[in-house]
Amino acid sequence: MKNRATAKRLIERYFRQLTEGCGNSNCTNEFCASHSAFQPLDNNSAAAKSLELFKVNAKLCDYYPSVRSSTDASSQMGSKMSVDEFSDVHYLTEHTVCRILGFCEEEGDYAPLIRVIGRIFSNADALMKSFRKDELSVTNNLESLTSNDEKQRETSKKEDASTRAALPDETPNGLPDACELTVDIDAVRRVYDRLLSIDQVEAALVNALIYLTPNVELDLEYLDVYETSPDYLNIFIIVMENSNLHSPEYLEVALPQFCKAMSKLPLTALARLSKLWSTYDLPHIRRMMETFQQLITFTVVSNEYDTENLVNDNETVVAATQCLKIIFYASILGGEVDVEHNEEDEEDSESNELTLHELLGEERLYKKGPRVDPLEKELGVRPIDSIRPLIPFEDFVNDSLNDVIEMDKDFTFFKVNAETKFSFQSCPFILNMITKSQGLYYDNRIRMYSERRLTALYSMVQGQQPSPYLKLKVRRDHIIDDALVRLEMISMENPSDLKKQLFVEFEGEQGVDEGGVSKEFFQLVLEEIFNPDIGMFTYADDAHLFWFNSSSLENEAQYTLIGIVLGLAIYNNCILDVHFPMVVYRKLMGKRGTFLDLSDSHPVLHQSLKGLIDYTGSLEHDMVLTFQISHTDLFGNPILYNLKEQGDQIPVTKENRQEFVDLYVEYILNKSVERQFKAFKKGFLMVTNESPLKYLFRPEEVELLICGSRKLDFEALEKTTEYDGGYSKDSQIIKDFWEIIHSFGEKQKRQFLQFTTGTDRAPVGGLAKLKMIIAKNGSDTDRLPTSHTCFNALLLPEYSSKEKLRERLLKAITYAKGFGML
pLDDT recorded at residue 352: 44
Considering the chain, what percentage of its residues have pLDDT values greater than 70? 84
Q: Which has the closest alpha carbon to 374: 216, 266, 219, 222?
A: 266
Three-state DSSP at 689 gives coil
Gap between the Cα atoms of 614 and 790, Å rounded: 50
Q: Which residues pair with 545 in a beta bridge?
A: 540
- Quick: pLDDT tens for 125-137: 999 999 998 654 4
Helices first, then strands: H and E counts in the chain: 38, 12
Please state, in angstroms and rounded to a whole number, the distance separating the CA atoms of residues 414 and 412.
Answer: 5
Query: To which H or E segment does residue 546 belong?
Result: strand 545-548
pLDDT category, 609, cuts 50, 70, 90? very high
DSSP code of residue 366? G
Q: What is the mean pLDDT of residues 616-638?
A: 86
Confidence of residue 368 (pLDDT cuts 50, 70, 90): very low
Contact 789, 520 (CB under 8 A): yes
As a whole number of angstroms, the longest Cα–Cα distance in the chain is: 106
Mean pLDDT within 143-148: 39
In whole angstroms, give the CA distance from residue 81 to residue 87.
Answer: 12
**Crossing angle, helix 699-707 and helix 433-462, to 10 degrees?**
70
SS3 content of the chain, % helix, strand, coil (to 5): 55, 5, 35
The H or E element that residue 501 is part of is strand 501-506
Distance in angstroms (rounded) separating the CA atoms of residues 696 and 170: 31
628 membership: H or E segment, kind and range: strand 628-632
Interhelix angle 479-493/516-529, nearest 10 degrees: 110
The pLDDT value recorded for residue 460 is 64
Report which secondary-structure segment, H or E, holds 734: helix 732-743
Note the pLDDT tens digit of each residue in 535-583. Answer: 899 888 888 899 999 988 888 888 998 899 889 888 888 888 889 999 9
pLDDT in tens, 146-172: 344 444 444 443 344 443 333 334 444
Residue 339 DSSP code: -
DSSP assignments along 423-464, one per residue = -GGGSGGGS-HHHHHHHHHHHHHHHHHHHHHHHHHHHHHHT-
Give the single-character DSSP code of 632: E
What residues contact residue 441 under an 8 Å CB cut-off, 6+ apart? 573
Most confident of 284-288, 341-345, 416-420: 284-288
Q: Which residues are catalytic?
A: 790
Contact 564/484 with Cβ under 8 angstroms?
Answer: no
710: which strand partners? Answer: none
> Could you read off the pLDDT of 295-309 as tens digits, one per residue?
999 999 999 999 889
Secondary structure string (H, E, C) spanning 566-605? HHHHHHCCCCCCCCCCHHHHHHHCCECCCHHHHHHHCHHH
Tell me what pLDDT residue 442 has: 87
Contact 399, 393 (CB under 8 A): no
Average pLDDT of the residues in 650-665:
94
Per residue in 27-39, pLDDT (tens digit) is 888 888 888 888 8
Calpha distance 820→158 (Å, rounded):
70
Measured distance CA(496)–CA(499) in Å, rounded: 6
| H or E, element range at 268 | helix 267-277
Is the confidence at residue 448, as pLDDT, over 80? Answer: no
Dihedral-angle region of residue 262 (phi above 0 means left; psi in -120 to 50 means alpha; beta otherwise): alpha
| Mean pLDDT calculated for residue range 211-225 | 91
Q: Would the pLDDT of 10 be above 80?
A: no
Ramachandran angles phi, psi of 581, nearest 5°: -70, 160
Among residues 277, 502, 503, the alpha carbon closest in space to that of 375 is found at 277
pLDDT band at 372 (very low <50, low <70, confident <90, very high): confident
The pLDDT of residue 805 is above 50: yes
Q: With the C-alpha atoms ordered 639, 644, 648, 651, is the resulting torsion angle positive or negative?
A: negative
Q: Name the pairing type of β-strands 628-632 and 545-548.
A: unpaired
What is the DSSP secondary-structure string of 471-488?
A: EEEE-GGGHHHHHHHHHH
Give the residue, 263 or 764, on which the prediction is more confident. Answer: 263
Where residue 82 falls among pLDDT bands split at 50, 70, 90?
very low
Adjacency order of strands within the sheet including 786-788: 722-724, 773-776, 793-796, 786-788
Say if CB 123 and CB 62 are below 8 A apart.
yes
Q: Any idea which of 368-382, 571-585, 659-673 has the lowest mean pLDDT?
A: 368-382
* 8: nearest Cα among 36, 43, 71, 50: 50
Task: Look at residue 462 in the predicted model and tell me its pLDDT.
Answer: 60
Instruction: For residue 499, count CB atoms less than 10 angstroms from its CB and return exposed for 0-12, middle for 13-18, buried for 19 or more.
Output: buried
What is the arithmetic mean of pLDDT over 214-229? 91
Q: How confident is the model at residue 514 (pLDDT cuts 50, 70, 90)?
A: low
Torsion of CA 476, 482, 487, 488, to 10 degrees: 150
Using alpha carbons, select from 727, 722, 749 the residue that is nearest to residue 810: 749
User: Residue 276: how many CB atoms within 10 A of its CB?
Assistant: 28
SS3 163: helix
* Per-residue model confidence as pLDDT tens digits over 670-725: 999 999 999 999 999 988 888 888 899 999 999 999 988 888 999 999 999 999 99
The pLDDT of 651-674, averaged and rounded, is 95
| Whether pLDDT at 355 is above 80 | no
Query: Do residues 365 and 450 touch, judged by C-beta distance below 8 A?
Result: yes
Q: Indicate the pLDDT class of residue 505, thresholds 50, 70 and 90.
A: confident
Residue with more model confidence, 3 or 58: 58
Confidence label for 515 from pLDDT (cuts 50, 70 and 90): low
Number of residues that make up the chain: 822
- pLDDT at residue 456, rounded to an integer: 67
pLDDT, tens only, 556-565 = 888 998 899 8
Most confident range (mean pLDDT) of 18-32, 254-268, 790-804 is 254-268
In DSSP terms, 630 is beta-bridged to: 640
Q: Please, which pLDDT band fits residue 346 given cuts at 50, 70 and 90?
A: low
Per-residue pLDDT band at 511 (split at 50, 70, 90): low
Q: Is the pLDDT of residue 446 over 50?
A: yes
Angstrom distances, CA of residue 532 to CA of 34, 416, 582, 672: 86, 47, 21, 19
What's the whole-number average pLDDT of the chain?
Answer: 83
Can you spell out the DSSP letters for 769-811?
Answer: GS--EEEE--SS-SPPPEEEGGGTEEEE---SSHHHHHHHHHH
- Give whichever of 24-28, 438-442, 579-583 has the largest mean pLDDT: 579-583
Spacing of C-alpha 402 from chain mean position? 14
Q: Provide DSSP, 372-419.
A: --HHHHHHT--GGGEEE-SS-GGGG--HHHHHH--HHHHHHHHHT-TT
**What was the pLDDT predicted at 772?**
93
Of the candidates 489, 557, 558, the one whose C-alpha atom is nearest the C-alpha of residue 529 is 558
The SS3 call for residue 642 is strand
- Say if residues 498 and 530 touch (Cβ distance below 8 Å): no
Q: For residue range 528-537, what is the model confidence (pLDDT) as tens digits?
A: 888 888 889 9
CA distance 762 to 767: 5
pLDDT at 810: 94
Q: What is the pTM of this model?
A: 0.82
Beta bridge partners of 471: 503
